[in-house]
Amino acid sequence: MRQYFRPYSIVANIASTDTSAITLADSAGTPLKCNYISVESSGQGDGFFSVSLSSIQVSAVDDGYVVPAVTLEGFTSGSVGAVAPDLKGVVEFVLSDADRADTLYISQDTVGPTRYLINYGEVQHGNDLRDNLRPKGD
């Protein structure tokens, strides 16, 4: 089965340990409900960053969604989202049909400028019968 994907991207610069909310929007600036999100860090140190999504509803967690990375050290479970190393770490979410997110939350465990490369969009399944109607070329 073939899949279609219209990718969007954002470059975010974060310098503090405060949680940053990033809206995933289309080219018109309208929030986009995404089922694919990838976050890559250009960090230089041996720290880590965490990413949580707006669609994951949890209770008893800071900010309603995310545990800041600075408080994760020593935890063995219970963090909603994903964690990766600063040095070229990647967090990738491939969500089910029931889940979509239009905002993500990034936090890092160390103070200092880090650039995050965010790719996102909606992956959809193609129609095999429709593919048969497409021009075949010469």
Count how many residues are written for the chain: 138
In a domain, 135, yes or no: no
Q: What's the CA gap between 52 and 65, in Å, rounded?
A: 7
Number of domains in the chain: 1
Entry pTM: 0.78
For the segment 11-62, what is each residue's pLDDT rounded down to a tens digit? 999 998 888 999 999 999 999 999 999 999 987 778 889 898 877 655 444 4
Mean pLDDT of 105-131: 84
What confidence tier does 125 reach under pLDDT thresholds 50, 70, 90? confident
Instruction: Answer for the pair 106, 116: CB distance below 8 angstroms, yes or no.
Output: yes
Residue that wins the pLDDT comparison between 35 and 136: 35
Domain extent at residue 18: 3-124
In a domain, 101, yes or no: yes
Q: Is 52 helix (H, G, I), strand (E, B) or coil?
A: strand
Q: Determine the pLDDT at residue 8.
A: 95
Question: Is the per-residue pLDDT at 77 higher than 90?
Answer: no
Residue 99 belongs to domain with CATH number: 2.60.120
For the segment 78-105, what is each residue's pLDDT rounded down to a tens digit? 666 788 898 888 999 998 878 888 999 8
In a domain, 100, yes or no: yes
Question: Is the per-residue pLDDT at 9 higher than 80?
Answer: yes
Q: Determine the pLDDT at residue 66.
A: 56
Q: What's the CA gap between 7 and 36, in Å, rounded?
A: 9
Q: Determine the pLDDT at residue 92.
A: 94
In a domain, 74, yes or no: yes
In a domain, 130, yes or no: no
